[in-house]
């Protein structure tokens, strides 16, 4: 009996030691929480809750398995609608897409956790106008006069405005830290955010940047990053239909050896009737971030402008 | 309610396009929806470059001469992770391309569907193979 108790205590002690060791592995040599490594935010969970799950924020295990299977099957078949713009814009064989095959581990039906309905809050009238203008501008690419008529993605400037969501491929990031700084590089477009840690003020409001101006701080084991000073200088340089005055607050928390819990809140009274928050995991990937030299091989931009000039000549 | 693959794919596309373009750029601005084209040719060279891979093929014309066509495809990084290397599509391979012709009349098309000469879909079937654990 006594031997069993001692053995149990030893197991508990070893278990505790194991947990301690694992946790201490998530600290940098200078004592900050360690978020370093290569990660992917790829998930097939939609940003907004689908109508079919209107009253179902979380699926059961069986429902989640069936839903996942359905989404994967839908993405892995050769669906053609010949002669439609959608067919052209799907561009190439399914294999070139890499959307993933997992919904988020906590089986939520939307990445949005607030508002509770899992939907983006209503757009203000001004934001609706911006959305309509953006759609017109997108159609207008067929008659573009200049590279300036294209969005930041087509122009290889940045992948998209912050915050970043899971998209069709290359959802990979590398985080590197040094005392006082955290750097986050995204594989696609190779843009890197340099985040100073501390309480210093943001840049003056007159200074605007593609990735805004970020300031980080540690709250326990969570990296909290507040970003302001976005720019609306080019199409797509603001998040969705927000203005350059949007505030982004991100929270990165290492929750296991292979997972960072990532959460963001966006606020912009000129765009949404209330702030909203989404949560998605960053999962460790085994391997390196690859080169994504975008400008060098961006033949598509040249060809689109050439197509627009050819269309002009036909008129 | 049972959803068709097309409806699901559309929902998928919408969830992706809510914040970003589907492909790196608008393919309908480069290629003509009214000019579907089917090309059969041999691979001459492949540029494994970002943001889009380009596959160049020699297409034999009815008069016996050949002309070169450029086929635009996706980012090579995805395929590289899945284990595809430059040996995956060797020079001399026969492929059939079912896509849309360039709007400017150049000998270019998108590789909407690419199949090997024996009918097997080129690279199909593993697009969702990433094993990142949630």
Q: pLDDT tens-digit profile of A86-121?
A: 888 877 777 778 888 899 999 999 999 999 999 999
Contacts of A27 (CB under 8 A, 6+ apart): A33, A34
Tell me what pLDDT residue A96 has.
Answer: 79
pTM over 0.90: no
Q: Which of A71-85, A199-213, A299-313, B98-112 has the lowest mean pLDDT?
A: A71-85
Q: Please check the confidence at residue A4 and state whether its pLDDT lies above 50.
A: no
% of residues, chain A, pLDDT over 90: 74
- Chain B CB contacts of A83 under 8 Å are 33-34, 36
Tell me what pLDDT residue B122 has.
Answer: 65
CB distance A301 to B52 below 8 Å? no
A28: in domain: no
Q: Which of A55-59, B7-11, B71-75 has the lowest mean pLDDT?
A: B7-11
Contact status of A51 with chain B (Cβ, < 8 Å): no
A148: in domain: yes
Tell me A280's DSSP state: E
% of residues, chain A, pLDDT over 70: 91
Tell me what pLDDT residue A153 has.
Answer: 93
Domain count, chain A: 1
CA-wise closest residue to A276 among A116, A59, A38: A116
Chain centroid to CA A144:
28
* Interface touch A90/B18, C-beta < 8 Å: no
Q: Please check the confidence at residue A10 and state whether its pLDDT lies above 50.
A: no
Contact status of A82 with chain B (Cβ, < 8 Å): yes
Tell me A204's DSSP state: P
Average pLDDT over residues A209-236: 97
CA distance A100 to A41: 10
> ipTM strictly over 0.85?
no
Contacts of A312 (CB under 8 A, 6+ apart): A143
Average pLDDT of chain A is 90
Tell me what pLDDT residue A15 has.
Answer: 46
Confidence of residue B128 (pLDDT cuts 50, 70, 90): very low
Return the higher-pLDDT residue of B133 and A90.
Answer: A90
Which segments within A32-111 are labelled E, that is strand?
37-40
CA distance A243 to A54: 29
A31: in domain: no
CB distance B99 to B113 below 8 Å? yes
For residue B18, the cross-strand partners are none
* Interface touch B128/A83, C-beta < 8 Å: no
CB distance A310 to A149 below 8 Å? no
User: Burial level of A36, CB count in 10 A (0-12/13-18/19+)?
Assistant: middle
Q: Dump pLDDT digits (tens) for A279-299.
A: 999 999 998 899 899 998 999
Tell me what pLDDT residue A161 has.
Answer: 95
Confidence of residue B25 (pLDDT cuts 50, 70, 90): confident
A24: in domain: no
Confidence of residue B129 (pLDDT cuts 50, 70, 90): very low
* Interface touch B103/A154, C-beta < 8 Å: no
A27: in domain: no
Q: Dump pLDDT digits (tens) for B80-113.
A: 887 777 777 889 999 999 899 999 999 999 988 8
Q: Please check the confidence at residue A16 and state whether its pLDDT lies above 90.
A: no
Q: Please check the confidence at residue A186 and state whether its pLDDT lies above 90.
A: yes
Average pLDDT over residues A181-207: 94
Tell me what pLDDT residue A313 has.
Answer: 92
For chain B, domains (ranges, CATH) are 27-116 (2.40.50.140)
A16: in domain: no
A138: in domain: yes
Touching B: A residues 115-174, CB under 8 Å: 138, 141-142, 144, 150-151, 153-154, 156, 159-160, 165, 167-170
Tell me what pLDDT residue B83 has.
Answer: 75
Contacts of A46 (CB under 8 A, 6+ apart): A109, A110, A111, B11, B15
Give the residue on B whose Cα is nearest the Cα of A314: B104
A171: in domain: yes
Average pLDDT over residues A272-276: 98
Q: Please check the confidence at residue B15 and state whether its pLDDT lies above 80.
A: no
Residue ranges making up the domain that contains A298: 37-314
């Amino acid at each position: 009996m006594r031997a069993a108790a001692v053995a149990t205590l030893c197991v508990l002690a070893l278990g505790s030691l194991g947990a301690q060791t694992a946790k201490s592995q998530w600290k940098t040599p200078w004592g900050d929480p360690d978020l370093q490594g290569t990660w992917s935010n790829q998930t097939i969970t939609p940003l907004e809750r689908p109508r079919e799950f209107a009253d179902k924020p979380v699926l059961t295990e069986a429902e989640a398995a069936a839903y996942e299977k359905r989404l994967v099957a839908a993405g892995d078949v050769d669906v053609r609608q010949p002669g439609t713009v959608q067919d052209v814009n799907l561009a190439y064989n399914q294999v070139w897409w890499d959307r993933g095959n997992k919904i988020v581990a906590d089986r939520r039906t939307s990445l949005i956790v607030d508002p509770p309905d899992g939907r983006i809050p209503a757009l203000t009238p001004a934001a609706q106008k911006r959305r309509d203008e953006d759609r017109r501008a997108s159609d207008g690419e067929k008659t573009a006069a200049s590279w300036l008529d294209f969005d930041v993605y087509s122009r290889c400037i940045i992948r998209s405005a912050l915050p970043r969501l899971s998209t069709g491929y290359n959802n990979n990031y590398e985080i590197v830290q040094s005392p006082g700084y955290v750097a986050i590089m995204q594989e696609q477009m190779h843009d890197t955010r340099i985040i100073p840690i501390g309480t210093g003020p943001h840049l003056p409001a007159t200074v605007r940047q593609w990735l805004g101006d970020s300031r980080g701080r540690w709250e326990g084991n969570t990296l909290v990053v507040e970003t302001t000073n976005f720019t609306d200088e080019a199409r797509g340089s603001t998040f969705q239909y927000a203005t350059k005055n949007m505030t982004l607050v991100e929270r990165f928390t290492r929750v296991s050896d292979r997972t960072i819990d990532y959460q963001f809140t966006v606020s912009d009274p000129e765009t949404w009737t209330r702030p909203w928050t989404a949560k998605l995991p960053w999962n460790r990937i085994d391997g390196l971030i690859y080169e994504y030299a975008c400008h060098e091989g961006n033949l598509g931009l040249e060809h689109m402008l050439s197509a627009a000039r050819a269309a002009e000549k036909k008129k | 309610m049972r959803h068709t693959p097309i409806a699901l794919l559309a929902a998928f596309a919408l969830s992706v396009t809510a914040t970003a373009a589907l492909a790196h750029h608008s393919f309908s601005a480069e290629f003509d929806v009214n000019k579907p084209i089917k090309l059969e040719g041999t691979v001459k060279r492949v540029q494994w470059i970002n943001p889009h891979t380009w596959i160049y093929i020699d297409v034999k014309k009815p008069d016996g001469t050949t002309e070169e066509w450029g086929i635009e495809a996706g980012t090579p990084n995805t395929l590289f992770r899945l284990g595809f290397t430059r040996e995956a599509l060797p020079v001399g391979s026969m492929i059939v391309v079912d896509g849309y012709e360039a709007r400017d009349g150049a000998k270019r098309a998108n590789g909407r569907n690419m199949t090997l000469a024996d009918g097997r879909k080129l690279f199909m079937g593993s697009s969702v193979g990433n094993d990142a654990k949630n």
